[in-house]
Amino acid sequence: MNPNPEQWTRLLLVRHGESVGNLQDVWAGWSETPLSAVGRRQAADTAARLAQEGLGAVALFSSPLSRAWQTADVIGRALGHEPIVDESLKEMHFGDLECMQGRRFAEDHPTVYARWRDKTDEDFGWPGGETRRQFRRRVSEAIARLAGACNQQTALVVTHSGVIRMALAHLIPERFGAWWDVRVDNCSLTHVELGGSCRVRVPVVNDVGHLRQ
């Protein structure tokens, strides 16, 4: 038996449930859009699974945006945790393009769209919003802070698809561009494990096995 087994800090990243904005194909960013009826059911299903698995999470962190907070509140009630709001867990700020319809992005904003397609371009920025570099800094600082708060233990983090993708892109930078094309569905679970010497493991990405179809 290894007398000094390595200890890992585990962050379980949960995307919020389906929002009204998701139904409308709106890129909400920092704008408020509540959970839909399906999103509330997804949050309940996620809470039931997490309660059943008994992960022993020591804390529950949440973006302040209502779609994430409502999801975290349902989970917190099931696990006996009061969600801790962290402003840095908000979605990327789309600036002047907040609440645009995704399917019209290329047509309505061709110049921005052309540069957005290069997912390795960290200096790409939304007009009036954040650049990828600014977003990466915000997310990376949040991940480091939350990991430090639950050192060698497990924490739940309820946030947004962009934050989860950026966390993965930052932690595994050799695949920076590739992570932006990874699916992160509503109420999916993504596990990140942080060890000594800056080691990172990502054993689970976009687990939706607990959601009813």
Residues designated catalytic:
16, 91
How does strand 9-15 pair with strand 154-159?
parallel
Rounded Cα–Cα distance for residues 134 and 198 (Å): 22
CB 71 within 8 A of CB 63: no
Of the candidates 197, 172, 168, the one whose C-alpha atom is nearest the C-alpha of residue 184 is 168
Query: What is the distance between the alpha carbons of residues 20 and 25, in angstroms, rounded to a whole number?
Result: 9
Closest CA to 72 of 59, 61, 58: 61
User: β-strands 100-101, 26-27: how paired?
Assistant: antiparallel
| Dist CA 145 CA 148 (whole Å) | 5
For 75, other C-beta atoms within 10 Å of its C-beta total: 26
Token pair recorded at residue 97? 């393009």
